[in-house]
Amino acid sequence: AQSVTQPDIHITVSEGASLELRCNYSYGATPYLFWYVQSPGQGLQLLLKYFSGDTLVQGIKGFEAEFKRSQSSFNLRKPSVHWSDAAEYFCAVGAEGTYKYIFGTGTRLKVLA
């Protein structure tokens, strides 16, 4: 069965520091992979997605993620975090043969001034 694991529930970084949020998935075939961000009281906004091709994908707001098949990972990175990046980040997986996306439990990012 498909599953998504985000091992870090909370992460705190200082503004200007680099960021990496971890995501591991379980699925037999090549999945579609997504990162969404949710600001307090808001809906889910897509940061980036991976379907195929180049394993390093660029997203909005300066985020990028790298698909590593050997590690079943799709970690989200940003070289320099801004205070406005404080939010909850969700990794999600979808795949052929299913209509749904499976979401991870989320990582709440706190940014220190």
Partner 1 sequence: EPEVTQTPSHQVTQMGQEVILRCVPISNHLYFYWYRQILGQKVEFLVSFYNNEISEKSEIFDDQFSVERPDGSNFTLKIRSTKLEDSAMYFCASRLSRGEKLFFGSGTQLSVL
Interface residue list for partner 1 (CB under 8 A): 32, 34, 36, 42-46, 49, 51, 90, 92, 96, 98-106
Q: Which is nearer to partner 1, 77 or 101 (CB)?
A: 101
Please check whether residue 76 is in contact with residue 91, taking contact to mean a CB–CB distance below 8 angstroms.
Answer: yes
Instruction: State the nearest-atom distance from the C-beta of 45 to partner 1, in Å.
Output: 8
Question: Closest Cα partner for 36 from 56, 3, 60?
Answer: 60
Instruction: State the nearest-atom distance from the C-beta of 46 to partner 1, in Å.
Output: 5
Distances (CA, A) of 64 to 30, 41, 50, 99, 100: 19, 24, 11, 25, 23
Q: Which is nearer to partner 1, 49 or 77 (CB)?
A: 49
**Given the structure tokens 């969700």, which residue do they identify?**
90
Instruction: State the nearest-atom distance from the C-beta of 15 to partner 1, in Å.
Output: 25
